[in-house]
Structures are given as C-alpha cells and as structure tokens.
C-alpha cells in the first residue's frame, strides 16, 4: 500500500532522513518508533506529501507521489486521514464544524448528509451528541477523539497518527489505542502511527519500525523487536 524508497532530507545542512526504506502493508498497523527529534513527524509528512524529499520516492497504492503535480497530490491526499500531534482543532469552531471541515471543503454533501456522517463518526469515537461543544470544553482525550473523527470523516483508506497517546494518562491513552484497533478492524483502515510511547506501541502494532540516525534500524513484529539483540533496540525498549 505504501512504499518508501531511499528518502533523504536535510534542513539547513542537517541531515534528518538519510536513506529511509519502509513498506507498509494493506490493513496493518505500522508503528514508527524513535527518540524525540529523530525525524518521525518529518517522515509522516513525506508519506502524505506535506514535505517533499531531497531525493527518494514515496509510492501510495502504486502512485509515486513526490513528483505529482499539486492537484493530483491533493487527490491522493484525500485517501489519507491524519491525526496531528496537537489534534489541531479550531478553537472558534464547534465539534461539528471541526469534524465536517473536509466534507465542506472537498465534497458537495448537503447539510443533512454532513450531519449524518458527522454523527456516525462521533459515535465511532464514543462522542455522540457533542456536535455543539467547543474544543475548550473538552478534555485532552476527547479532543484527540474529535481529531480522530475528523481524520476519518472522508472514509480514508489510510490514517496517519502523530503521537496519538503522548501526554495522555494511561487510561485515556488506552481508549485511543482501542479506537485505533477498532478502526483497523471495522473499517479495514491501514494505520501508521508515530510514537515514543512504547506501552501504546506494543498494544497496537502489527509491525514496528525503529527510526534512528536517519534510517530504519529495525522492522518486525512486536515479538521480533522484543527478541532483538541490537544494543540500540534493546536500549530503546528498556524505556517500556
Ligand atoms: N520544516 C522544518 N524546517 C527545519 N527543520 C525541521 C523542519 N521540520 C523538522 N525539522 C527538524 O527535523 C528534526 C526532526 O524533527 P521531527 O520529525 O519533528 O522529530 P520527531 O521524531 O520528534 O517527530 C528536528 O531536528 C527538527 O528541528
Ligand atoms: Mg514529532
């Protein structure tokens, strides 16, 4: 479904990604692990075409996206939902307005249709009836769930999560973990989650990839990564 080939990118002469290769399979939850500042968010932005690499390729369902003209990139981007680290809700807009943003901008859905779609997405994330609330009235975990409802509003085939559980207490984090798994099961969504929360990583991952020094150091199932003898992997896992 997604193939990343030899991605390189530098910012102001600082090489952040130095030859990243990664394949994400249809329907799996891939967790990308790595220390803070190692380039996880930068890698996610390449997958959705928000950043363009200095060299290398990104394939989404067989389409190479790094060289696509803007309007075609926008079309590909519509197969993605993205949950940003901060949830990135608009404070002056209600939950309904936040969640329906993509529908308003990219579809000709009527108000009635939008109401129905938003209600079904809010139900899926356990927030039925919150349409008229404002982000400031919601807890951190609820805001993440609204962000998630927005990410899935256009029925994306792929959802990208940037630190979905970071900063949440473990009980709330688990509700987000369960939601990610539920979306994968019910909607057959392919998920890529970037995190340094090991506890969550082990709960949701079908496979994990560890990003270190600009490259993927390890890819494998949770069992395989647990059994790894690579000192860097062992060190990283000790923070579990
Ligand atoms: N748009 C940008 N311009 C310049 N530097 C950036 C930009 N985006 C990220 N960086 C740098 O790239 C490195 C990796 O950032 P990031 O991917 O956000 O790390 P993380 O693994 O914590 O998500 C950091 O040193 C960051 O300062
Ligand atoms: Mg980040």
How does pLDDT run across 28-41, given as a tens digit for each residue?
999 999 988 999 99
Residue located nearest, by CA, to atom 8 of ligand 1: 42
CA–CA separation, 1 and 183 (whole Å):
17
The percent of the chain in helix, strand and coil, each rounded to the nearest 5, is 40, 25, 35
13: Cβ below 6 Å to ligand 1?
Answer: no
Smallest CA separation from ligand 1 atom 22, residue = 37
Listed in sequence order, the residues at least 6 apart from 27 whose beta carbon sits closer than 8 Å to its beta carbon are 184, 188, 189, 190
38 lines ligand 1 (CB under 6 A): yes
Q: What percent of the chain has pLDDT over 90?
A: 72
Residues of the chain where predicted confidence (pLDDT) is lower than 70: none
Q: Is the pTM of this model over 0.85?
A: yes
Integer Cα distance of 157 and 26 in angstroms = 9
User: Which ligand gives the minimal distance to the CA of 166?
Assistant: 2
The CATH code of the domain at 2-79+156-237 is: 3.40.50.300
Mean pLDDT of all residues belonging to the chain: 93
pLDDT at 75: 86
d(CA 222, ligand 2 centre) in Å: 21
Q: What is the pLDDT of residue 6?
A: 98
Residue intervals of the chain classified under CATH 3.40.50.300 are 2-79+156-237
User: Which mutation among 7, 8, 10, 11 tests ligand 1's pocket best, with the greatest number of atoms within 8 A of CB?
Assistant: 11
């Amino acid at each position: 479904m997604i193939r990343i080939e030899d991605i390189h990118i530098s910012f102001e002469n600082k090489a952040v990604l130095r030859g990243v290769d990664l394949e994400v399979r249809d329907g799996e939850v891939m967790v990308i692990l790595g220390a803070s500042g190692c380039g996880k968010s930068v890698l996610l932005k390449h997958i959705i075409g928000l950043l363009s690499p200095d060299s290398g390729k990104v394939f989404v369902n067989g389409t190479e996206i790094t060289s696509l003209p803007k309007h075609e990139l926008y079309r590909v981007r519509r197969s993605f939902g993205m949950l940003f680290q901060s949830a990135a809700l608009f404070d002056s807009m209600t939950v309904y307005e936040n969640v329906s943003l993509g529908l308003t901008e990219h579809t000709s859905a009527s108000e009635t249709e939008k109401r129905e779609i938003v209600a079904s997405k809010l139900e899926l994330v356990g927030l039925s009836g919150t349409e008229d609330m404002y982000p400031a009235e919601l807890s951190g975990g609820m805001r993440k769930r609204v962000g998630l409802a927005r990410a899935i509003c256009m029925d994306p085939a792929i959802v990208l999560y940037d630190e979905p559980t970071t900063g949440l207490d473990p009980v709330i984090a688990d509700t987000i973990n369960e939601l990610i798994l539920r979306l994968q099961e019910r909607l057959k969504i392919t998920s890529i989650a970037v995190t340094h929360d090991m506890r969550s990583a082990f709960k949701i991952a079908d496979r994990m990839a560890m990003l270190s020094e600009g490259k993927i150091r390890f890819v494998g199932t949770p069992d395989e990564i647990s059994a790894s003898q690579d000192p860097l992997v062992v060190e990283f896992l000790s923070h579990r």
